[in-house]
Amino acid sequence: MAISITNFQKPSTMNFQNPYNTLGPQLKTALDYIIANLPLSPTFENLNNTLFDALFGNNPPSDSLAIVYAKSVLPNVYNGYTAEAATLSVVEGHLNKYPDKQYKIIYYLLREISTTPTEAIPQLLNATDEKIATSGLTFAEQTPLFVATALGKAVYEYWLLHIPQPSAWAAYMVNPGITPQAMDALNYNNVNSWVSAAMEGALSGWGSINLPKIDFVDMTAANIAGIGMAAGKVVFKW
């Protein structure tokens, strides 16, 4: 699919609101839970189970099939993410399930974030929110895009807070023989890819639970996938 990409532009003076920015605190709390409870030398299954407990530990689904569905989200998203990373751009693969008007915004976002200076990521995400709000998409069509950028903002803020050493995530961020200052700089340079992975996860996870179609289920799947990719990208270097 041939897509024309516009250059990154700052948001206008209009103050468009992302309706799902309130997902941010849940993501940050979940990542804190994951790093506090993930065992040493974790496996993928450890991460998936810890992610599930982080989101549902106090109120797990009563239906055993719902648990199976919830725990299937991250493996499905991970498989798509890693398979396509080895062959072609993610936006040319499993994210092309989106209709053209949504796909153009996704394509713009994931292309731009790869070249945007790390310090300018918040401006890029706000500019993308404006594109979504003024795109002519219905509220339902806007929702997965807004969820992705909301999670992207939260992941950006989270990793900037946790990059400076010592960090709870140090086991996955520090290499022997590298000074703390050099390690902080290296991790700062990784933030773009960490934010991108979370947003790709959310966009891929949306619609991955094939229950009767309600936005709550889709949003839950997007949240699972976004948080899981945010953690897995750092823990396993996906």
Q: Can you give the pLDDT at residue 45?
A: 96
Q: Can you give the pLDDT at residue 93?
A: 59
Provide the Cα torsion 18, 20, 25, 26; round to 10°: -160
Q: Can you give the pLDDT at residue 87?
A: 53
pLDDT under 50: residue ranges of the chain: 1-8, 88, 90-91, 212, 214
Is residue 196 classed as helix, strand or coil in its secondary structure?
Answer: helix
Question: Which residue type is seen at 124?
Answer: L
> pLDDT for 107-129, tens place per residue?
999 999 999 999 999 999 999 99
Q: Can you give the pLDDT at residue 216?
A: 63
Say if residues 82 and 238 touch (Cβ distance below 8 Å).
yes
